[in-house]
Amino acid sequence: MKDEYLMIQQSAREFAKREIMPVAARMDRENFFPVDLFRKMGREGYLGVTVPEEYGGSGSDYLSQAIIEEEISYASGSLGLSYGAHSNLCLDNLYRNGSEFLREKYVPHLCSGENIGSLGMTEPSSGSDALSMKTTAEEDSGNFTLNGSKTFITNAPYADVFLVYARTGTDITPFVVESGDEGFSRGQEFDKTGMRGSPTGTIFFNNVRLGHERIVGDLNGGKKVLLSGLNLERAVLAFNSIGIAKRALDLAVSYASERKQFGRPISDFELVQEKLAYMYTKFESSRLFAIEALNRVQNDRMDSLDAASAILYASEASEYIAREALQIFGGYGYIKDFEIERVFRDSILLTIGAGTNEIRKKVISEALIKKHRGGTIGK
């Protein structure tokens, strides 16, 4: 790893240990979102890491964002999820596709953490089938009237700025919606099994009036924005799972070394050794694969094959590692006083969120068939 990435990793690791770990248990226990801490992440330069300095960002790249994602998620999977939703799904998407007006108006405040960002795509009747969304933006004299709702939206209960996809006739267009816009409202925050403290909820649009300047990209050009955004989201959020997996592995190794049965540390027993060996192998392979996939997606943001493969493998590896870690803890692993219980619950989300693993398998197989027909398998 290059020196610049090692510096980012060390900085994020120290920040996570100092600032995030002390509140991680409270976040889970009370479903508490630490707004002040989130804003502090902005002041440290983590939120706008992929945004140029002239807009308030750090001017770095997606690998830097992924490194930060992993370190935050190691301390708290839920804060890592909120970080990804803000920094990648909302802020980076808005910067890459937005007009100069949108960049100047929203990007600096999102980079600093003064505003919290969110992405509005999933709807009650269109989760996996995102392109069948029913939220509409009807045009009238250059303005648009937004009606509909979005659900399972990360950061929704606290967000100030939303990147929202809506149907404009037979096409899709992304818009910026502010929480203060007339006709905007929020539903009750969800009480989730895991990733507690990463606020999730529903947002509603009742005749929200938006000017043409709120369009992100081109009118009716939302499909490309959506798909390229999904690929980057999958590639970066794979590191949410990787951070969780690393924490589970470290907890398991530490416990197995200290816990004694029959007068010996349980790490001496072959069945425990086998678990640790597979856990480490899956962790390292998922991380190396995710780094390679991220490099490919950076070069081709429409590369759905590698993006979907990376998060599929990382999320399944994370759930496996956390489950095996809990088994190593035995009865103690099933008690809330032990951190591994929270880590296990957090590990499950990324097999469902950002597109289910079933959908990712469909994306992967379709991409493989397309490559085969084009004669590019293995190239």
What residue segments make up the domains of the chain, in order of their start?
A: 3-116, 119-219, 223-373
3-state DSSP assignment of residue 290: helix
CATH class of 3-116: mainly alpha
- Residue 86 makes CB contacts below 8 A (sequence gap 6+) with 38, 47, 110, 116, 117, 118, 155, 159
Exactly one of 233, 319, 324, 339 is catalytic; which is it?
233
- pLDDT value of residue 379: 54
Handedness of CA 119, 95, 236, 298 (dihedral sign): positive
- pLDDT value of residue 377: 61
By the 8 A CB rule, do 168 and 217 touch?
no
One fold for 3-116 and 223-373: no
Handedness of CA 246, 248, 251, 252 (dihedral sign): negative
Q: Which CATH architecture has domain 223-373?
A: Up-down Bundle (1.20)
By the 8 A CB rule, do 174 and 164 touch?
yes
Catalytic status, residue 14: no
- pLDDT value of residue 204: 98
Handedness of CA 306, 312, 318, 320 (dihedral sign): negative
By the 8 A CB rule, do 107 and 98 touch?
yes
Q: Which CATH architecture has domain 119-219?
A: Beta Barrel (2.40)
- pLDDT value of residue 299: 85
- pLDDT value of residue 378: 57
pLDDT, tens only, 62-72: 999 999 999 99
- pLDDT value of residue 279: 98
List per-residue pLDDT tens for the chain, 379 residues long: 688 899 999 999 999 999 999 999 999 999 999 999 999 999 999 999 999 999 999 999 999 999 999 999 999 999 999 999 999 999 999 999 999 999 999 999 999 999 999 999 999 887 667 678 999 999 988 899 999 999 999 999 999 999 999 999 999 999 999 999 999 999 999 999 999 999 999 999 999 999 999 999 999 999 888 888 888 899 999 999 999 999 999 999 999 999 999 999 999 999 999 999 999 999 999 999 999 999 998 888 778 899 999 999 999 999 999 999 999 999 999 999 999 999 999 999 999 988 899 999 999 999 999 887 876 665 5
pTM: 0.94
- Chain centre distance of CA 145: 29
By the 8 A CB rule, do 199 and 82 touch?
yes
Of 145, 147, 50, 55, the residue nearest 90 (C-alpha): 50
What is the CB neighbour count within 10 angstroms for residue 148?
Answer: 20
- pLDDT value of residue 128: 65
- pLDDT value of residue 141: 83
By the 8 A CB rule, do 274 and 280 touch?
no
- pLDDT value of residue 127: 64
